[in-house]
Every structure is written in structure tokens, then in C-alpha cells.
Structure 1
Amino acid sequence: MASWVVSKVSTSGLVDHVVSNPKQLAITALTAIFGYVVVICIYRVYFHPLAKYPGPFFAKVTSLYDFYQAWSEHRAHNVLALHRKYGPIVRYAPSKLAFSEPQAWNDIYAYKANVRKSDLFAASQTSTETDTFSELYKEPALKKRKVLSYGFSENSLRSFEAYMLDQINIFCHQLVSPSTEKVKDMSLWFNYLSYDIMGELVFGKGFGMLTDPSLRYILDLIDSTVFSYLLGGIIPWLHKSGIMTLLQPRMYADRMKFVAESTKRIVERIQLGPKAVGVNNRKDFFHHLLNGVDENGNPLSTERLGAEGVLLILAGSDTSSASLAGTLFYLMQQPTCLKRLREELDSTFASIDDIRLGNPLTGCVYLRACVDEALRMASAGPGISERTVLKGGTVVDGEFFPEGTTMGAGGWASSYNQKYIRDCDRFWPERHIPGEVMSQEEIQLARSAYWPFGMGARKCVGMKVALNELHLTIARMVYLFEFTPAKPEEFKKNFEILDHQNPKKYGPYVTFSLRQGRKLPDMKPTELQEE
């Protein structure tokens, strides 16, 4: 009994001593924190379920490694470098793995895969309701996606072609207009075009970026918004606690401003009602949303309409502009490719107005090969589309992974997979044409390694719109214009894309002039032509 009393008194005295001595208290606290960190590091390096997979030391012990790579804008490039150093499976965060083998794409993204989207995507939720993109679970997402699919149906896309061409025609006029700058940063101009096309598709009228410079500030807002989604999603508590807002106040102010601007445009369209809009009663995307119902058979709520509208603005335009900029860049970098494409178009079309969807455009084999190669090399989705394993675990590339593991295949890493894609750093459209430089088997093997529009249940719903825009724009530009590089030195290396979740890019810097015998297309809008 006495010994117990002495022990208690001694312990109490020790506590009183520590509390009354701030220096000792600080040392004790730091020692405890250091000990905790050491224990966590030892566990994550040696005893974690993913301990056997290679990767940088700091990636194994803290998500701050992944956060830093994202902050530096080279997250996708870093994943490629890790694969080239460590192999087909790399650990890029304590509970995250990146894969580069083609089989992994099927195992992770197929319809039956036992996974959901990772918590990274929750950071992109802009409303009290999730949209198709921020919905983490597959079944609810498929139901939400069904509503969107009406706007991307074959009938909708056919009726939309004329309005897409209206914007492409404006774009072509602006490239040689004396009222615009002579040297053009084509990443910006392709952004203007893509956003105006999305405005036509979603709201029934373009945003006006091609012709009104005062509206172009929204591009910076969009980039900040998407980048904030990525940073906030990697370490969710930084986003939820408000720390990220303190670290990047301008980025988050831009995000709020973008949501406000988008909401204003969406509310204006909702007020027009569910009827078709315009002189010709055209059915824009919001026509389908306003006439759609949710999974319970009820009209879509205002919150849901707003969320889907913001998603369409964000996802449907910047990605197309990256592939357009990449295609133009590589055609200018490789004059023999540009020459062959120009000869194909010149021999196929008698005038600019003949370049439309369907035949004979679909028969332009080299055009399609150039676009396919640019989609590979200038990936619109350079990063990892993360998935988290659900209860029961899953098997990827022959190995079992437990519940809670986050995994994915990197778009950039897959597109530059040396094992499956010969001369992967070279722009080589011929690789997509069977029998020219590769057999059909080699082509299929290479294509199994990368998926520029994703695959499975969450495959890009707007893929056909993007491809239509790419083929029409590139064909009309190459047919009409001579391209003169304003910064020849930029073509000494490959086109650079920074990873902001959506691609961030600059250039190519080009001056344009009409080819001999060519004239610009008619600028009269489709609606006025059909009155």
C-alpha cells in the first residue's frame, strides 16, 4: 500500500514538474510527436499492406509527396518517371498505387470492377447534389449519366454539327483578322473555340470568347477551379479545414467566382424553360436536362441542374483544346506529316464548305491518324483517374488488393509506355495505319496500353463531340492556312502539358495566312440561314 502511495505521489510530482516547466513540456510534446511519426513511418514502410510495392521513401510515408508533385504541376510526369524507374506498379502515396500494364486498365475501370471513384473526386462537388463526375459510386453515376446521354445521342450530334461549324468558321476568320494579334498563342485560341462550342451545345449560344476579349478572363477562373479540385482532393482535410484557402486565397476566390458566373448562365437558361430554343427550336443540352428525370422519376432539381451545367462547362472544353493544340504543334514540328495531311485534304475536298462530318471526311485516313497520335502524345487526361477498392477487395494484373487501396492508371504514363508503344516519344501518325509501319497486331497492342477518353462505366460521355471538333477544326485549318512558327525554338522538344487535372498548356505560337486560292468560309450563322 505504501509503495502504491509513493508511486502515485512520484507520478503526480513528475506531472506537476513537467506542467510547471514550459521547456520540459515542449520537449516532452516534441518527443511524443517524433515518436508517433517514427512509428507511422516504420509501419507504412515495412508493415503496411502495400509495403512490398516500390516507390520513393517519402511517397510511402506521407501524402504530402503526392501533394507536392501536384502543386509543382508535374504530377502526371512524375508518375511516368516512377514507372520507368520502379516498374509497372509503383506506390506514389501511402495507400495509393499506379499501374502501367494494359491489363490493369481492364481490371480497374471495367464495368464489373469492385471499385468506386476515390475521395479526390468529392472535392469537385459544387452543389449540395453530386453531379455525374463527382458521384463516387458506380450505380448512381450510371443513372445520372443516362440523363446526359440524350444530349450526346447520334441525333443530337447530327443536329449540332451546323452550330459547331458556325464557331469553327468564326475561329478561322479570327486567325487572320487584322483586329486580332498577329502572333497567336494557339492554346488560348483553341480554348476560346472550345468554350464557345460548348456554349452552343449546352446553352444554345456561344460564350462569345472568340470575338469579345472582355469575356476571356473566365479561362483563368476555370483553370484555378480545376486545379483547386486536384489539390483539395489529394489531402481532403486540407480542403475541408480551410487551410487550402489560406495557402491559395486567389485560387479559391477564382473558384467561387467561376461557380457564381456559371450559375448565372445556368439560371438564365433555366428561366427559358424546357422548350427548344432559338429561331429553329434547336434542342440544346439544357433542353434534355430540363425534360429529364432523376432516378426516382422526378424532374431534376435546381441544384442538380446547376451541378451538371458546371460539369459540362469544365469537362467539355479544356480537354478538346489541349488535343487541338497538340495536333497543330506536332504537325508544325513534323513538316512531312503536315505535307501528307494537306495533300490528302486537297485531293478529297473541292472547297472549305465540303469539309463536314460523314463521308468523305471519315475516309481521310491520315487525318484520323494524326488526331489519334495527338490524343496519345498530348493527352487531355494526363493524370491518374483514381479508384478506391470496395469491401471484398479486388484483383488487378493478377494480384489481390484489399479494401481501401486507391489505384489507377496514369494517362500520361500509359501514353508513353515504352514496353507497348514503339518510339513513344515520337509523333508518328503512321503507327495508327495498319500495314504502313506496324502490323494490325502491333497497333492493337499499343492501343491496349492507353485510353485517352477512359474506359468502362465512367468513360467520357462527350467523346464523340470532342472527336467531331478535332476532325473538323484540324481539317479546315490545314486546308485553309499556311502556318508560320513565331517561336521556332519551342519545336525542338515535345509539346508540354502541365497537370492541373485538366491539362494546362502554352503555344504553339503561330502566325497564319491564307493559302493561295483559298477563301474564308461564310460567316452567316446557321439560324439566320434557315429563317
Structure 2
Amino acid sequence: MAQLFHTVVADFISWTQILWLVLGLAITRLSWEFLFSPLKEFPGPFAARFTNIWRVLATLRGHVDFVHIQLHRKYGSAVRIGPNVISLGDPKLIKTIYTTNDPWKKSDMYHPNDVLLNGARISNLFNTADENWHMNQIRPIQNLWSMTKVLEYESLIDETLEKFVNKLATKFVTGSNLGRPCAIDEWLAYFAWDVTANVSFGRHYGFIDQEKDVDNLISDSTKGLKYFAPVSQMPWIDHFLDKNPIIRIGPKPTLTGVLYAFGVVAEYGKDLAARQTGERSMKHTLHKYMQLRETHPEIDDAQIVNWLMLSILAGGDTSSAVMRAVIYYLAKSPVAYGKLTQELNEAKLTLPAQWKEIQKLPYLDAVIRESMRLNPGIAMVFERVVPGSGFNLPDGRYIPAGTKVGINPAVTNRDYAVFGKDADSFNPGRWLQGSDESQETFHARQRQMKDVCDFTFGGGRRICMGRHLATLEIYKLIATLYSLYDIKLVDQDHEWKYLNAWFVYQHDIPVTITRRNFIS
């Protein structure tokens, strides 16, 4: 009995010591935070001062863009969202943080996007923090992604666009299918992904033809981003999940796309060797990359796959997000809908719509820009690391070197000073010249809005190379669809659902599609 008593007392004392130790550490951490932390002057959620778990949970809920918007409106231009992380909301800082010369390095938030293949981590051009490696890798293909070069893909986009509008007609517009509800959110994903494949490889994935997610390419990509978004907020946990060498836990981000690309590159290489490819192969990206081997013999299949992953990783998801936003906001705004269709009527476009005819349609441009502003395809903080000298904010506050900082496009896209007090509303008219506005004032105001809104594609050296391709396919798709069809929500009061998982995924957008009256 005495021995049992002593054991209980000893256990009690040991647990008491542990509790006192934990309490002591907590008090020490609190004292350091409030007295000595170099970031103590930056306001934000209380829990975020001590742990990145706050960021993980906020991201897991799927609406972290609106969380950031509200935080900046409450606390101002600089908000502390982690022990060593500051979210910045001042649009004027975009060109400072995401500069072309001497760029600030990407933080480790991007590392979970690595692919683990045969036990080795494979970085890509999107997630690498090594600026010199990135520059060397990108240099051979940079010139292939100007708008002039991208326009060489227009006929490939037209192929997919014709396939798409014909499929919509068969499924939802003609005969007994007239008036049948269309899940336009799904179909726009099929279109965007098939465009990416046709431009990249000269063939479609088959989403439109088969009317489904072929080989789960889209769902696997979505699962990968649902993993990446929260894990990127506390990236070290990726070592114990997807990159665990014993038991991998997670959806294996980007692996499906990488394996698919390796298969296509190997197959195309065999076709070239056997001279089985026709003239059509000259149009797509893979062929252009293969041609680079003539001047860069060091280029191997792995290098080409790395390049292709730039479009495979983002091409379908970001473009379809903007397309869905355009259709949804137009359905919710009859006035804007009427102005756009009137402009398209008067333009008498060749169909599928051609870039040379639509690039100067002001209301089409305004609708697409406004939709992208309100619902950017990427809506999380693009993290960078403050360089060695530290950084002084315009208001005088100092951010020390090594601090993670960044800007969320969803925040700057709703900046009242840039976009007006109605920045939360869909108003394409803000992109047009006001009746009492001089040409000079309008151009300056429009230039400022474009600079901020274009940050959706990133900035500086790391700006999205595929932005011109995305612009081309979005403008062509919207101009063609609304020249041919009337697209309405099944229920005008219906609200879409969306998930922010780095890319923005909107869903539950049921529409009816009918032919425009003026079409013969």
C-alpha cells in the first residue's frame, strides 16, 4: 500500500512538473511576443501571433480570400496572419515585392507542390525558390509565349471551341433537349482542359467528347490543390504527409499530370523518330519544345515535361474559373448582359470569334476584366521572403529580413482607392470612360486598374507565362457563346458555391441555353 502511495505521489509530481514547464514556456512565449517580437506592432488575429495553425484552419474552410479582405478592412494595409507572416494589401507594393530586378524569393509555402517520383522530390518552374535555376530553365522558351506567338494557336482553340458549342447544342439546345438544365461549371472545365491539351499536345484529353472527367485528370488536380492550399500554410507538415518516405498520406499533388505528360512526350518522340507526325503537329507547344533540341541538345524529356507542366498545372483551372465568373455575373446582371449582347450583335463576328475582331470590343473587355477582378482565378497570398536589408513600409513600419510577406490578388482587386466605393459590386462600367471624364484622366485610371487586376497572373519574373493564352481562349469563348446563345440561370435568385484552394473552384451553376433570336 505504501509503495502504491509513493508511486501515485511520484506520478503526480512528474505531471505537475510537466504542467509547470508548459505554463512557463507559454508565459515566456507570450512575454517575448508582446515585448520583443519585431512583428508585435502588426495587428491581426490573436492566435496568428503564436501559430500557423490559424492559417491552416482559415484556408481549410475554403474562403480564405474573403477572410483576408475583411482582415485588411479591419486592420489596415499590413496584417499579421502568422508568427512570421505579414499579408500586405497596398496595391502600390505589388511592383516592389514582385519585381523583375533582384526579385524577392518565393517562400517555402510552394514546396508541397513538389512531385515525389521514385523517392525523389521534383521541383517545377512554378514552385522553385531558386531564381537563377528558374531563369536558366525559362530562357529557351520565353519568346514562345508572347501574344504574337500565342496567336499561332488560335486555330487549335477554334477546333476545341467548335467542338464545345456543337456539344452544347446537341445536349441542351436542340430537339427534345431544349431547355434541359446545363451544369455549365463542369462543361467550362471540360472546355478549358481540352483547350490546354490541344494547344500543348495537338490532341484533346477527351472531356468534351466523352462528357466526363477522363482518367480523373480534373478531380486529381482538384484534390492536389485542396491538399496544397492548407498544407502550404504550414509547409513542414508535408514531410509527414505526402512526402512521408514510409506511408504517403495525401492526394499526391500534380503527380497525375506529370505522369500523363511523360507519356505524351515519350509517344510523340517515337512518332517523330518514325516520321509519323503530319503538318498539324507543327502548331502545338510540344512540337515547338522538341524543335528546341536542334539548338539545345541538352534538353531531355524531363526538361520538356517541366515546361509543359506550366500549362498543365494551371491552364484549365484558372481559365475556367474566369469563364464561370463571367457567365455567373452576367446572369445576375441583366443590364450588363444586354450591353454585351448588343455590342456583339453590332460587331457581326466571324464565328468562332477571331482575336483580330474581338480584341478591341470595349464592353467585352470590361465584362471579362470585371469578372476576373471580383473572382480572380488564384486568390491566396503569393508569399515572398523579405531580403537581407529588411523592408520599410510606406507608413514607416519595419519588416525584418526573413519575414514571409505577400499580397492576395483578391484583396488588392477590391481596393476602394483604386476601384471605387462599389469595389465589391459587379460593374463593368468602371472600365469605360465616364461622360464627364477626360481622355487623359480615363487612361490613367484605367491603367492603374489594369496594373492591379493583372496581378492575378503574378508579377515580375514569376508572372504566368500562359497569361496571353488564357486571355485569348477566355475572350474567344465568351464572344462566341454570347453571339450564339442566350445563357440564363435556371433560377435567377440561385447563388453559386465556391471553394478557394489556391485556384478558385466555383460550382453549382445550373443554366438554360437557347439560341439567340437574331441567329438564322
Shared fold, TM over 0.5: yes
Aligned length: 496
**Equivalent in 479, 484, 487 of residue 483 of structure 1:** 487
- Quote the Cα distance in structure 2 between the aligned partners of 1:78 and 1:220: 26
Output the CA distance in 2 between the equivalents of 1:425 and 1:437. 23
Aligned counterparts of 2:39 and 2:102: Cα–Cα separation in 1: 20
Give yes or no for contact 1:385–1:408 (8 Å, CA) kept in 2: yes
Alpha-carbon shift at residue 283 of structure 1 (Å):
3.6
Matched with 1:33 is 22
CA distance change for structure 1 residues 276 and 400 in 2, over 3 Å: closer, same or farther?
A: farther
| Equivalence map 1:19-418=2 (5 Å) | 21-112=10-101, 115-126=104-115, 128-178=121-171, 182-216=180-214, 217-242=216-241, 251-252=250-251, 256-257=255-256, 259-273=258-272, 277-292=277-292, 299-349=298-348, 351-353=350-352, 355-358=353-356, 360-397=357-394, 399-418=397-416
| Alignment-derived partner of residue 4 in structure 1 | none
**1:457 maps to which residue?**
461
Letter of the 2:165 partner, please give it: C
Shift of 1:146: 2.2
Q: What is the Cα deviation at residue 253 of structure 1?
A: 5.6
* More off after superposition, 464-473 vs 258-267: 258-267
- Contact 1:108 1:396 (8 Å CA) reproduced: no
Label 1:460 to 1:433 Cα distance change in 2 as closer, same or farther (>3 A). Answer: same
Deviation, 1:240, is: 0.6
**How far apart in 2 are the matches of 1:277 and 1:40?**
65
- Specify the alignment match of 2:419 in structure 1: 421
CA distance in 2, matches of 1:54, 1:350: 53
The amino acid that maps onto 2:382 is: S
Deviation at 1:252, TM superposition (A): 1.8
Letter of the 2:13 counterpart: Q
SS of equivalent to 2:208: coil
Q: 1:212 Cα deviation (Å)?
A: 0.9
The one-letter code sitting in structure 2 at the alignment partner of 1:383 is M
Structure 1 residues 188 and 93: CA distance shift in structure 2, 3 A: same
Matched, 1:443 2:442: no
Residue 233 of structure 1 and its aligned partner are, at CA, apart by 2.0
Once the two structures are superposed, what CA deviation does each residue of 1:223-244 show, in whole Å capped at 9, x if it has no partner?
Answer: 1112222222221221112289
Letter in 2 for 1:487: D
How far the C-alpha of 1:196 sits from its partner, in A, is 0.3
**How far off its partner does 1:160 sit?**
0.9
The aligned amino acid for 1:512 is I
Residues 222 and 291 (structure 1), Cα distance of their counterparts in 2 relative to 1, 3 Å cut = same
Distance 1:227 1:292, change over 3 A: farther
| Partner SS state of residue 105, structure 2 | strand
TM-score (norm 1): 0.85
Unaligned 5+ residue runs, structure 2? 1-5
415-424 vs 38-47, which moves further? 38-47
Residues 350 and 56 (structure 1), Cα distance of their counterparts in 2 relative to 1, 3 Å cut: closer
**Aligned mates of 1:259, 1:300 — CA distance in 2:** 17
Q: How much has 1:380 moved relative to structure 2? A: 0.9
Structure 1 CA distance, aligned partners of 2:324 and 2:34?
Answer: 42
1:393 deviates by 2.4
Q: Distance in 2 between matches of 1:434 and 1:204?
A: 41
The one-letter code sitting in structure 2 at the alignment partner of 1:163 is L
Kindly indicate whether the alpha-carbon contact (under 8 Å) linking 1:55 and 1:82 is maintained by their aligned counterparts in 2.
Answer: yes
Over 3 Å counting, the alpha-carbon distance change for 1:298 and 1:48 in structure 2 is farther
Choose 360-369 or 77-86, whichever is displaced more.
360-369
CA RMSD of superposed structures (Å): 3.0
Q: Which amino acid aligns with 1:481?
A: Y
Q: How far does residue 392 in structure 1 lie from its aligned partner after superposition?
A: 2.6
Q: Which residue of structure 1 lines up, in the alignment, with residue 510 of structure 2?
A: 509
**5+ residue gaps in structure 1?**
1-16, 520-531
Q: CA deviation at 1:25?
A: 2.6
Write the distance in 1 (CA, Å) between the matches of 2:518 and 2:250.
48
Bigger Cα displacement from structure 2, 68-77 vs 54-63: 68-77
1:326 deviation in Å? 0.5
Q: In structure 2, how many angstroms separate the alpha carbons of the residues matched to 1:293 and 1:96?
A: 43
Task: Please give the secondary structure, in 1, of the residue aligned with 2:86.
Answer: strand
Pair 1:466–1:257, CA change in 2 (3 A): closer
Instruction: Determine if contact 1:107/1:396 at 8 Å carries over to the other structure.
Output: no
Runs of 4+ residues over 6 Å off in structure 1: 17-20, 243-246
User: Residue 281 of structure 1: CA displacement?
Assistant: 3.5
d(CA) in 1 for partners of 2:133, 2:486: 49
Q: 1:63 to 1:376 in 2, by over 3 A?
A: same
Q: 1:276 and 1:474 mapped to 2: Cα distance?
A: 36
SS at match of 1:157: helix
Question: Shift of residue 125 of structure 1?
Answer: 1.7
